[in-house]
Structure 1
Amino acid sequence: MTRDDPTPLGRRDRKKRQTRAALATAALRLVAERGLDQVTVEEISEAADVSARTFFNYFPTKDDALVGDPEADRDRALRALAAVPPEQPALEALRRAFTEVVDEVQGDAELWLLRMRVVVQHPVLLARLVSGNAVTEQALVSAVAARTGLPPDDAYPALVVAVAGAALRTSMIRWATCDGAGSLAALLDEAFAAVAAGLPDPRTS
């Protein structure tokens, strides 16, 4: 069973999900210990107790195992946004959609914290992540434009998605800086509340 699909997963699908997670975790731990160039696909596969051939059934390259699955994350965010009632303001709709995303992250906190540390340490991985996020942002802009009845090139959809994305990134960074202590969802709500209030200057609030 997943958050997006209430149908229970079969044994085969559960096994595939477990294998994928084991490979990603092994890759991240080895790279965190040794560095990106000192780890091979064969070593990752051995650490996950599978063959290198099995590795390539799940990931095209070593880097893909490290950065996660931006396409799946994008689809999850878009489905969550589509599920928010259309009468909700765009910023609130994005907050609700991102809350589902951060619930997934919080549920696998150890893996995500390790991924964030590894990505920050290796600029080539950070560049891939930024590229994937740019595609996601554009997809969200199109979705917000559709919700609001505005053309995709109108400033509002792009602006509200950029602001919401900044709130999400700020929350993730704060959460990672505290090594995952506390609630990521609460940090996200705090960030969105500050944005919704117009980011008042704390010296004059």
Structure 2
Amino acid sequence: MKNSAAFDGGLRERKRAATHSAITSAARGLTAEHGLAGFTVEELCEQVGISRRTFFNYFPAKEDAVLGAPAALPEELTEPFTAAGSPGPGLSSSLLQDLVDLSVAYMESMAVSRAELAQLKDALSTEPRLVLKLMQGTREADERLRGLIARREHLDPADPQVVAVSTVFSALIQRAGPEFFDPDNKLSYRAVLTSAVESARAVFSSFSPVTSSKDPS
């Protein structure tokens, strides 16, 4: 015999996921066709068949509905990342690869299927300013990333190594986003971001050490 409470809970979750998907799909389609300023929340709600109140139970604004994911990284993504860190203080050798995997997983959480991803790309081509919001290129987001790396590697968020990695990786993400969402791009987000990260890693490893004082000779 089925557990009624569990069955009802599962049904509610499926309905919620379906509504979430419907709102996101409609928001992306309207944005691609008209731009964000070209439609209202009310028009979006009418297309989906929901109330304005229901919309705001899912998303705080149209921009968030287009992106279809929360600003903060979900725990189901961050927990495996932090668990894979070094056993003691110090940067683990897999940090860059794990940061790429984390970023790709977050991107994939925006759109489950290829069709949804294509729809998201169309919307962002019309509203390129949303790429920055998607990439979370803000000081607060950079601080969250720094804290995540510090927690994983058992270091202080102000540690110079943590600051360096988070600063450079944030810059690479902000560069990879527009490149990936460019209408002419045919590469996957993983390929675009991996290329950027590997180029940076190779370049920095080729430099001589930098000192704080100039040799008087």
TM-score range, shorter chain: 0.7 to 0.9
Q: Is 1:112 the equivalent of 2:120?
A: yes
Equivalent AA in structure 1 for residue 175 of structure 2: T
Q: What is the aligned partner in structure 2 of residue 157 from structure 1?
A: 162
How far 1:19 moved relative to its partner? Answer: 1.0
Partner Cα distance (1:180, 1:14) in 2: 34
Q: Is 1:41 the equivalent of 2:49?
A: no
Q: Deviations over 1:111-137 (max 9, x none)?
A: 4313422442xx5x5776576743232
**Correspondences of 1:18-167 after superposition (within 5 Å):** 18-73=18-73, 75=75, 77-86=77-86, 88-89=92-93, 90-105=95-110, 107=112, 108-120=116-128, 133-167=138-172
Q: What is the aligned partner in structure 1 of residue 17 from structure 2?
A: 17
Over 3 Å counting, the alpha-carbon distance change for 1:128 and 1:94 in structure 2 is closer
Structure 2 alignment gaps of length 5 or more: 1-8, 207-217
Over 3 Å counting, the alpha-carbon distance change for 1:141 and 1:134 in structure 2 is same
Which of 181, 190, 193 pairs up with 1:185? 190
* 8 A Cα contact 2:135 2:173, kept in partner: no
Partner Cα distance (2:139, 2:74) in 1: 10
Equivalent AA in structure 1 for residue 53 of structure 2: R
Equivalent AA in structure 2 for residue 24 of structure 1: T
Q: Deviations over 1:140-194 (max 9, x none)?
A: 2012223334322223212211222233333332221145633222222222221
* 8 A Cα contact 2:131 2:178, kept in partner: no
- Judge which range, 66-75 or 133-142, deviates more: 66-75
Over 3 Å counting, the alpha-carbon distance change for 1:14 and 1:37 in structure 2 is same
Q: What is the aligned partner in structure 1 of residue 214 from structure 2?
A: none
SS of residue in 1 equivalent to 2:73 = helix
Q: Deviations over 1:70-92 (max 9, x none)?
A: 43535455334224243633333
How far 1:57 moved relative to its partner? Answer: 2.3
Query: Given the two structures, how large is their TM-score scaled by the length of structure 1?
Result: 0.73
**Correspondences of 1:187-202 after superposition (within 5 Å):** 187-198=192-203
How far 1:46 moved relative to its partner? Answer: 1.5
SS of residue in 1 equivalent to 2:101 = helix
How many pairs were matched up?
190
Over 3 Å counting, the alpha-carbon distance change for 1:97 and 1:61 in structure 2 is closer
Percentage of pairs with the same residue:
28
Equivalent AA in structure 2 for residue 184 of structure 1: Y
State the superposition RMSD in angstroms. Answer: 3.2
**Whose Rg is larger?**
2
Equivalent AA in structure 1 for residue 97 of structure 2: E
Partner Cα distance (1:117, 1:91) in 2: 28
